[in-house]
Structure 1
Amino acid sequence: MTTLSYPRRRFLHDASLALAAVALRPTSLFAQTPSTLKLGTGAPTVTVPQDFIGLSYEAMQLEDPSFFSPKNSSLIAQFKAISPRGVLRLGGNTSEFGWWKATDSSQAPVRTRGKADNGEPPPSTIFSITPDAIRNLDGFLKATGWTCIYGLNLGFGTTKADIPEAQFVAQTLGSRLQYFQLGNEVDLFNRHLRDPKTWGVDQYLKEWIPLALAIQKAVPGAKFGMPDVASDVSWLPKIADQWSSLADKPNVTTLSHHYYWGGPPASPKVNIERLLQPSPAVAKKAALAREAATKMGVPFRMTEGNTVYQGGKPGLSDVYAAALWGADYLFELMSLGYCGVNLHGGSGHAQAVSVGGSLRGEQLMKDPSAPHPKPFYTPIANEGTLAGSGVNGKLNNKYLLEPVGYGMKFAARFSGTTMLPLDFNPGTVNATAYAARQKNGKVLVAVLNKDATQDLTLTAPAAEIVEVLSGNALDQNETHISHGSKSIRTSKASSGETITIPAHTAVMLQLR
């Protein structure tokens, strides 16, 4: 067995967490449930873009020009490990608080608008983005083979501020720029950036459209994504209903929204058992997004999300269960017709600022100084952040995949495929399955046994095992992706093969 996992470290968890993991699903370890899997008879459903996989970072990450840089070889390697092609989205809450520092003598703006709010950057937040940061970003994108969604400022945005930045970004990134995002989580502007009495879809369009048109005039060929709402996806069909009647409108190429599975971190409802259960909200949001996208004739994308908002939860967002959640969530969005997904992550400092100054999950730790990823849900972590060390207070240059990152890597095999209908009956086992046809005509089937205790024994077409996503326990950090696996038992059957997938294990099959 060849293991693709990177060097890992174990987290010390509370005894209560370990006991909770055992009790996640009080089903007999010896339960035998007849399960079946076969390709459906319907037509292929949707085609998954080759660059479906994406990561989301705070715009504040650009404050350090050496982060997204062609010299940051370790981070480049981890981007490529997740997917050889993908989309880096730069935005987040901090995208409303940056300013374009065109020259060394440029003066920072003075800002008074806004109010402090728990979970949002305080109005005093301000950071600069320089030409060097954008040039380094371009080199980073070249090295990874990825493209970029670039967030501009709407919260404090003006034509004087946004146009020079947009011009430089477009000229520097060229074809590596997918589109501009103008405004982040605009449905929440009434909490800290706009008057709650007047803010809504109509006021948003009154502000957004003139600014986007001005940028488009100054940057010929500029494209935009919108509205990038936090949770109120009803904004999308409301915008679509007005779109055709607008006399002059910007070139919008993508509709977007965010999705965090749960929160806040301290909530008792935020636990591994619930994380691995189906979430009806995913399909409901997809239906609204698809309705709006169809009216406007554009694709739709999930541009920021992860397990638990406000930086994630220790013992949930940073453990193997999150890998299974991440893979399953990405497969589900593929099947629902999304053009891509960006799971959020980054450095501890930018993430903490984005949610008001601190990661709420650290309050749940016995010792917040113990090694842990910052934020807890980041797909790629920096070892300096994990160890709370670094050189002269700076991050070191060693990065590694976290569990969610492994889930993304596992799902990335479906990039560029065509989703196929699948008949799957897991019985009483908590499991999901997805099928897709590759460009070479071969069919992949991903089976995710998310059950804490039960193995999944199923009758399936003859297949070979391509990859296995596994971990020692749902509440431990240890996560692996392997080529083939001795842990997967197979035997011949009259209708194909009988395959036994252990509890909390995902398998990628290629049908013969």
Structure 2
Amino acid sequence: MILKWLLINHQEMKPMKKIQSLRAIFDTPMHRRGFLLGSLALPLTACGGGGGGGSDSTPAQTTARISLAETQGAHLSNSFIGLSYEKGRINSTFFNAQNIALINLFKQLGQGVLRIGGNSVDKSSWNGFDPTVTKLMPSHVDALAGFLEATGWTAIYGINMANNSASNAAQEASYAAQKLGSSLMSFEIGNEPDLYVKNKYRPQGWSYNNYLSEWKNLAAAINQAAPSIPLTGPAVADDIYGYAVPFALDTGSQINTLTSHYYRNDANSERPTPSVDVLLQPDPNFIRNIQALTQSAASLKNGFRLAEFNSFVNQGVSGVSDTYASALWVLDLMFTCALNHGVGVNLHGGQQEAFAAITDINGVVQQARPVFYGLKMFAQLAQGASRAVNLSLSDNGINFSAYGVMRLDNGQNILLINKDASRSVQTTIDFPPSINKISRWDLTGPSLSSTSGVLLNGFPINPDGSWAGASSAKQMNTNNGTLSLAIPPFTAILLQSN
């Protein structure tokens, strides 16, 4: 697919015009602020700028006109939304059929994909093969199986690569395949191999070629032990071009999904000082890398999956990763991934980590954090094809974005996200004339920096997993398919045709 840049005509408010290929733009330094990434929006925003500052004068009312575009991204299905947890969490009282609060919260997101991975994959050992790390036993997999059955979720299951033998990996794979059954989506071998030298798992000079040889050895043993379970990989931290892209070529017949990770301040980003403002602004490298990954995975059965992501590395940043801003950020990021043909995402983190979607203490759920509300709103989009929108804005300095879904029932969904701290956007949304009734979902918070008080349809998501807002969507009428609607500051609104 060839992506195009769009230029907003601010004087006449005409639809934006296509002007130049994305590759040409990426090969040219960007110094101007008047551009949008059109049919597949720049990650995290539909336009440059953001926040409420930058001018002492009162700005004119910002207006926007929006309609569903023809440009289509990935299909949104049950498996698109996912969570990612450290493998060490299955050696606890967390994932089991008795943790009703956690089960209820997972069900709030539909039937998604749970990735069991993270750094603890290579710090855990099946049946104590490596006595220096966490010992994993069959009983832990049994408990995980009960949890998956209770939630209806499937799992990507990680297996140690840093210190393991082919026979031990095969034994674990065989048991996991037997106990998890249809809940097992795939195996993932190792975690972030591009950091193995840095983490002292491998000596200096160890390279991608060494990794590939080791991976193939374990993969062969796992395939023999559990031949019906697909493999994914390489689950790299940030060396996309040195590991992930060649891995897709070298193992294409052995894997069904290419995977990689993303954090706002990883090695492929600008490494900014974490802040709410930074979180809500575009990371130009994100879309570049997603495009490279999805193109590399085009021949694979399940394409590319962002199997681990979150706001900032090292468990996030308090006052940023745990704020209401993260709920708006995650909506943008997931849609950016979908519109660039990523097949799914897994938000990482747990316990009391700043970026955790669900916090817990010793396995007991404490809170659904603001970012969970973003996941929940995304889950309401229903199954269908992700779509870009035709978007005309009167002010390219406001941090506003919009996305769409063409549902399987031929209905339309449009998501509007105003991330500006002080200005509203008066929108005109053009649905087909035949659509005359709309259901409206509102995601709100006290401020972008709030860590509590977030509401979806006017109700909180409670620690026991309950939520009273399912039947509280507002009903609206269109005028021959056209709807006029003000989007308040720091608010996301989902419009669903009835």
1:130 corresponding residue in structure 2: 137
Return the match for 1:176 from 157, 178, 183. Answer: 183
Task: Provide the secondary structure at the position in 1 that maps to 2:223.
Answer: helix
Say whether residues 1:31 and 2:60 are aligned partners: yes
TM-score of the aligned structures, taking structure 2 as reference length: 0.79
Say whether residues 1:71 and 2:98 are aligned partners: yes
2:46 corresponding residue in structure 1: none
2:263 corresponding residue in structure 1: 260
- Aligned residues of 1:166 and 1:215 also touching (Cα < 8 A): yes
Q: How many residue pairs align between the two structures?
A: 425
Task: List per-residue Cα deviations over 1:320-344 (Å, max 9, x = no partner).
Answer: 0111111111121111111110001
Return the match for 1:476 from 450, 469, 477. Answer: 450
Task: List per-residue Cα deviations over 1:209-267 (Å, max 9, x = no partner).
Answer: 011101111222232101000011112222234347xxxx6x31110000011279xx8
Return the match for 1:406 from 370, 373, 376. Answer: 373
In the TM superposition, what is the alpha-carbon distance from 1:298 to its structure 2 partner?
A: 4.3
Q: Distance in 1 between matches of 2:293 and 2:87?
A: 25
2:346 corresponding residue in structure 1: 342
What letter is aligned with 1:420? R
Provide closer, same or farther for how the CA distance between residues 165 and 258 of structure 1 changes in structure 2, counting only shifts above 3 A.
Answer: same
Provide closer, same or farther for how the CA distance between residues 162 and 494 of structure 1 changes in structure 2, counting only shifts above 3 A.
Answer: closer
Return the match for 1:433 from 402, 420, 431. Answer: 402
In the TM superposition, what is the alpha-carbon distance from 1:495 to its structure 2 partner?
A: 8.1
In the TM superposition, what is the alpha-carbon distance from 1:439 to its structure 2 partner?
A: 1.7
- Aligned residues of 2:51 and 2:422 also touching (Cα < 8 A): no
Provide closer, same or farther for how the CA distance between residues 396 and 222 of structure 1 changes in structure 2, counting only shifts above 3 A.
Answer: closer
In the TM superposition, what is the alpha-carbon distance from 1:47 to its structure 2 partner?
A: 1.5
- Aligned residues of 2:438 and 2:475 also touching (Cα < 8 A): no
- Aligned residues of 1:78 and 1:399 also touching (Cα < 8 A): no
What letter is aligned with 1:407? G
Task: Provide the secondary structure at the position in 2 that maps to 1:191.
Answer: coil
1:291 corresponding residue in structure 2: 295
1:118 corresponding residue in structure 2: none
What letter is aligned with 1:430? N
Provide closer, same or farther for how the CA distance between residues 292 and 217 of structure 1 changes in structure 2, counting only shifts above 3 A.
Answer: same
Instruction: Tell me which protein shows more helix as a share of its residues.
Output: 1
Return the match for 2:123 from 80, 83, 97. Answer: 97
Q: Distance in 2 between matches of 1:489 and 1:48?
A: 24
1:238 corresponding residue in structure 2: 246
- Aligned residues of 2:73 and 2:387 also touching (Cα < 8 A): yes
Q: Distance in 2 between matches of 1:269 and 1:137?
A: 37
Return the match for 2:441 from 467, 476, 480. Answer: 467
Say whether residues 1:422 and 2:397 are aligned partners: no
Q: Distance in 2 between matches of 1:180 and 1:191?
A: 24
Task: List per-residue Cα deviations over 1:461-498 (Å, max 9, x = no partner).
Answer: 26624211110101111211106999999997798232
In the TM superposition, what is the alpha-carbon distance from 1:425 to its structure 2 partner?
A: 2.3
- Aligned residues of 1:231 and 1:258 also touching (Cα < 8 A): yes
Q: Distance in 1 between matches of 2:281 and 2:365?
A: 34
Say whether residues 1:88 and 2:92 are aligned partners: no
Alignment of structure 1 residues 143-182 onto 2, 5 Å: 143-182=150-189
Identity between Structure 1 and Structure 2 (%): 31
Provide closer, same or farther for how the CA distance between residues 206 and 456 of structure 1 changes in structure 2, counting only shifts above 3 A.
Answer: same
RMSD of aligned residue pairs (Cα, Å): 2.7
- Aligned residues of 1:461 and 1:511 also touching (Cα < 8 A): no
In the TM superposition, what is the alpha-carbon distance from 1:85 to its structure 2 partner?
A: 0.7
Say whether residues 1:51 and 2:37 are aligned partners: no
What letter is aligned with 1:278? P
Q: Distance in 1 between matches of 2:62 and 2:232?
A: 46
Q: Distance in 2 between matches of 1:141 and 1:54?
A: 13
- Aligned residues of 2:256 and 2:300 also touching (Cα < 8 A): no
Provide closer, same or farther for how the CA distance between residues 457 and 159 of structure 1 changes in structure 2, counting only shifts above 3 A.
Answer: same
Unaligned runs of 5+ in 1: 1-21, 102-106, 112-125, 348-373, 386-394
Return the match for 1:109 from 130, 154, 157. Answer: 130
Task: List per-residue Cα deviations over 1:370-394 (Å, max 9, x = no partner).
Answer: xxxx101101112xx4xxxxxxxxx
TM-score of the aligned structures, taking structure 1 as reference length: 0.77
Q: Distance in 2 between matches of 1:175 and 1:45?
A: 28
In the TM superposition, what is the alpha-carbon distance from 1:95 to its structure 2 partner?
A: 0.5
Q: Distance in 1 between matches of 2:497 and 2:198?
A: 51
1:198 corresponding residue in structure 2: 205
- Aligned residues of 1:36 and 1:424 also touching (Cα < 8 A): yes
Q: Distance in 2 between matches of 1:481 and 1:301?
A: 27
Task: Provide the secondary structure at the position in 2 that maps to 1:84.
Answer: coil
Return the match for 1:457 from 412, 422, 426. Answer: 426
Task: List per-residue Cα deviations over 1:287-326 (Å, max 9, x = no partner).
Answer: 1111210245541101111011101101101110111111
Provide closer, same or farther for how the CA distance between residues 97 and 442 of structure 1 changes in structure 2, counting only shifts above 3 A.
Answer: same
In the TM superposition, what is the alpha-carbon distance from 1:400 to its structure 2 partner?
A: 2.7
Provide closer, same or farther for how the CA distance between residues 276 and 490 of structure 1 changes in structure 2, counting only shifts above 3 A.
Answer: farther
Q: Distance in 2 between matches of 1:97 and 1:148?
A: 19
- Aligned residues of 2:441 and 2:474 also touching (Cα < 8 A): no
What letter is aligned with 1:69? N
Task: List per-residue Cα deviations over 1:133-166 (Å, max 9, x = no partner).
Answer: 1111111001111000000000112123212111
Task: List per-residue Cα deviations over 1:490-512 (Å, max 9, x = no partner).
Answer: 99779823210000000001246
Instruction: Tell me which protein shows more strand as a share of its residues.
Output: 2
